[in-house]
């Protein structure tokens, strides 16, 4: 089999070599590229004769898949797979496996980082002290005692619920599947509208699909408390961005923390997002820690090895 690692996996060279050596010892050829391709022709030139492709969140459309005659398996170094044409893979009987769970702790921690940044005005505090100013006008709010609403209680959402209870929050949740262990912790599952109305902070932790795209819109923000905060470390299009900006402008909600957007960063410097008040943004970095990347690589190559043994895991 020819295995192509389409882009860097952000791990130590020695760690990558260990995985490459293991596959080569099994008789497979491995090609890995040190840079990320930025156009379809370059992607095609790298993967056209590959049996297995490893990639992160690069778009992998039907246009590419249909021209890869040997392609049998894609090991995605990412949790979400909405950047891959799964229908085209199904037509070609290409197995797709993801790395679900590799960055759970990383995403959870940035979620709370955004929450604290908004509650305690951390960016403005940093700016003021550098400008020789005081805390005047920067009195913050505690997380303790707040109602945290979690939309989606998969692995990441569940961890957010558990940590929030440790901070002394009341936690309510909306999810397709209710978890008994969270309910035992005191998490209460409610309807979406009720969660929006009661929450001081709403945090999104669900995949992007046809059902969740645009889940939160102007009507949603109109139901929320004027003091409420929105946190999105899931997928940008789950939130209607224009409606969010309007909600912030009209002060329908108090603020938002976003790690994801309608497109992958970099964002245009003229983006209306940068004009919004009380908005903290990070460049889709929630998943990006050294520990998460090492864990991700282990899952990615284990996916390949298991598939080679006809016992695929993490198949989507």
Q: Which CATH class is domain 2-102+289-308?
A: alpha beta
Domain ranges of the chain: 2-102+289-308, 104-281
Q: Is the pLDDT of residue 152 over 90?
A: yes
Q: Note the pLDDT of residue 281.
A: 98
Q: Which CATH superfamily is domain 104-281 in?
A: NAD(P)-binding Rossmann-like Domain (3.40.50.720)
Query: Would you call 284 a catalytic residue per the annotation?
Result: yes
User: Is this prediction's pTM over 0.75?
Assistant: yes
Domains 2-102+289-308 and 104-281 share a fold: yes
User: Nearest Cα to 303, choosing from 293, 313, 289?
Assistant: 313
pLDDT (tens digit per residue) in 169-198:
999 999 999 999 999 999 999 999 999 999
Question: With 90 as the cut, is the pLDDT of residue 90 above it?
Answer: yes
**Percent of the chain topping pLDDT 70:** 100
Spell out where 163-314 has E strands.
170-174, 188-189, 201-204, 229-232, 255-258, 279-281
- Rounded to 5 degrees, φ, ψ at 5 are -95, 105
Whole-angstrom distance, CA of residue 111 vs CA of residue 121: 15
Catalytic position from the list 22, 109, 194, 264: 264
pLDDT at 55: 98
Distance in angstroms (rounded) separating the CA atoms of residues 303 and 98:
8
* pLDDT tens-place string over residues 232-287: 999 999 999 999 999 999 999 999 999 999 999 999 999 999 999 899 999 999 99
Please determine, for residue 80, whether its predicted confidence score (pLDDT) is greater than 90. Answer: no
Confidence of residue 125 (pLDDT cuts 50, 70, 90): very high
pLDDT reading at 36 higher than 90: yes
Beta bridge partners of 55: 76
Among 7, 46, 205, 235, the active-site one is 235
Query: What percent of the chain lies above the pLDDT cut of 90?
Result: 98
User: pLDDT for 19-33, tens place per residue?
Assistant: 999 999 999 999 999
Average pLDDT of the chain? 97
For the segment 296-309, the average pLDDT, to the nearest whole number, is 98
Supply the pLDDT for residue 162.
Answer: 98
| Contacting residues for 152 by C-beta, under 8 A, at least 6 apart | 174, 175, 204, 205, 206, 207, 234
């Amino acid at each position: 089999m020819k295995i192509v690692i389409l882009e860097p996996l952000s791990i130590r060279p020695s760690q990558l070599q260990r995985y490459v050596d293991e596959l080569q010892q099994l008789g497979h050829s491995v090609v890995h590229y040190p840079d990320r391709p930025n156009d379809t022709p370059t992607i095609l030139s790298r993967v056209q004769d590959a049996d297995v492709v490893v990639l992160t969140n690069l778009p992998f459309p039907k246009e590419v898949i249909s021209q890869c005659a040997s392609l049998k398996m894609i090991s995605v170094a990412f949790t979400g797979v909405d950047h891959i044409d799964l229908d085209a893979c199904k037509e070609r009987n290409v197995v797709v496996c993801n790395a679900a769970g590799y960055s759970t702790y990383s995403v959870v921690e940035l979620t709370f980082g955004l929450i604290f940044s908004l509650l305690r005005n951390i960016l403005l505090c940093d700016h003021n002290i550098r400008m020789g100013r005081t805390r005047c006008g920067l009195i913050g709010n505690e997380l303790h005692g707040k109602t945290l609403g979690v939309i989606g209680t998969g692995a990441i959402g569940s961890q957010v619920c558990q940590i929030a209870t440790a901070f002394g929050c009341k936690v309510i949740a909306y999810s397709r599947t209710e978890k008994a262990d969270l309910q035992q912790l005191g998490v209460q599952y409610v309807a979406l509208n009720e969660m929006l109305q009661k929450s001081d902070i709403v945090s999104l932790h669900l995949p992007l699909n046809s059902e969740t795209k645009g889940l939160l819109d102007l009507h949603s923000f109109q139901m929320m408390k004027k003091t409420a905060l929105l946190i999105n470390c899931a997928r940008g299009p789950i939130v209607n961005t224009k409606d969010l900006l309007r909600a912030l402008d009209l002060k329908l909600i108090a603020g938002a923390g976003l790690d994801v957007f309608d497109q992958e960063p970099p964002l245009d410097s003229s983006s209306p997002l940068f004009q919004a008040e009380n908005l903290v943004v990070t460049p889709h970095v929630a998943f990006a820690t050294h520990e998460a990347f090492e864990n991700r690589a282990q899952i990615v190559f284990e996916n390949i090895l298991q598939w080679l043994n006809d016992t695929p895991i993490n198949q989507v």
